Amino acid sequence: MSRAFSLHGRKALVTGANTGLGQAIAVGLATAGAEVVCAARRAPDETLAMIADSGGKAQALQVDFSDPMVACDIFGGQDIDILVNNAGIIRRADATDFTETDWDDVMDVNLKAAFFTSQAFARALFAGGKPGKIINIASLLSFQGGIRVPSYTASKHGLAGLTKLLANEWAARGINVNAIAPGYIETNNTEALRADPDRNKSILERIPAGRWGRAEDIAGAAVFLAAPAADYVHGAVLNVDGGWLAR
């Protein structure tokens, strides 16, 4: 692997690393050479096993990001230089029926925790005089409205804006802050959509690539943004959507 895409000697923390996109990203970063801290509410045993099977190095960190301030003490002594803010939740209901609890729960995990985890990470890097990379996992709903997911849409719009704000503040201090906006990906969260023949057909008809994305498609983008190849990329929200937004 060329140096431009090598993560050897780097250490990454991936939140929500026990399943889906977070799992694929953790495995992808490890395959590229990084040591990976797999942070999740439940023990990420499967992810650790996948990384070990590929010859990589990883460790688990059980943490519940429903407390958005939980990350404030994570980075002391960890020597982490790549942060992937992937942990997220979604709640569905008509806007007229949406509860304050569902609003707050989603915003706390998807936006507030991402900000304060990034803040703690940046403070640790600045204290050590080190550069680093932050990759936020945004969404197509960072650009579109969607339906019946008001707090999710608001949080993902906010995360795209936060990505740019932090890039503006921290680029000159050696931290690259970027985001990935996944399209329709084959994960547990989209299983019901894929099982519905009508919804599956309408989604595929909109995707120029003609297929659902795979979690590995997002992992490749994360490796790029974490690697030296992206050292001059700041404040970008990279769509990995099979061309959905271009349609």
CATH number of the domain encompassing residue 43: 3.40.50.720
DSSP assignment, residue 41?
S
Q: Give tens-digit pLDDT for 164-205.
A: 999 999 999 999 999 999 999 999 878 888 999 999 999 999
Tell me what pLDDT residue 137 has: 98
Structural domain contains residue 206: yes
Tell me what pLDDT residue 190 has: 86
Distances (CA, A) of 8 to 90, 199, 223: 34, 42, 12
Q: Has residue 1 got a pLDDT over 70? A: no
Tell me what pLDDT residue 200 has: 95
Nearby residues of 87 by Cβ (< 8 Å), 6 or more positions away: 15, 16, 22, 39, 40, 65, 109, 110, 113, 114
In this prediction, residue 162 has a pLDDT band, given cuts at 50, 70 and 90, of very high
In this prediction, residue 208 has a pLDDT band, given cuts at 50, 70 and 90, of very high
Structural domain contains residue 246: no
CA–CA gap between residue 169 and residue 118 (Å, rounded): 12
Specify whether 152 is catalytic.
Answer: yes
Q: Provide the domain limits for residue 167.
A: 3-240
Structural domain contains residue 245: no
**What would the mean pLDDT of 151-164 be, rounded to a whole number?**
98
Q: Give tens-digit pLDDT for 28-64.
A: 999 999 999 999 999 999 999 999 999 999 999 999 9
In the structure encoding, which two tokens stand for residue 110, read together?
């998807």
Give me the number of domains the chain comprises: 1
Element (H, E) at 92: none
Q: Give tens-digit pLDDT for 86-127.
A: 999 999 999 999 999 999 999 999 999 999 999 999 999 999
Structural domain contains residue 128: yes
Tell me what pLDDT residue 58 has: 98
Tell me what pLDDT residue 71 has: 85
DSSP string, 192-207: HHHHSHHHHHHHHHH-
Residue 160 gets the label, from left (phi > 0), alpha (psi -120 to 50) or beta, of alpha
In the structure encoding, which two tokens stand for residue 244, read together?
């959905």
Tell me what pLDDT residue 73 has: 83
Q: Has residue 228 got a pLDDT over 80? A: yes
Q: Indicate which residue of 65, 121, 152, 184 is catalytic.
A: 152
CA–CA gap between residue 178 and residue 184 (Å, rounded): 20
Structural domain contains residue 225: yes
CA–CA gap between residue 90 and residue 141 (Å, rounded): 12
Q: Has residue 77 got a pLDDT over 80? A: no
CA–CA gap between residue 236 and residue 191 (Å, rounded): 29
- What does the mean pLDDT of the chain come to? 96
**In terms of C-beta density within 10 A (0-12 exposed, 13-18 middle, 19 or more buried), how is residue 187 classed?**
buried
Tell me what pLDDT residue 109 has: 97
Structural domain contains residue 222: yes
Structural domain contains residue 63: yes
CA–CA gap between residue 157 and residue 207 (Å, rounded): 22
**What would the mean pLDDT of 14-26 be, rounded to a whole number?**
97
Structural domain contains residue 247: no
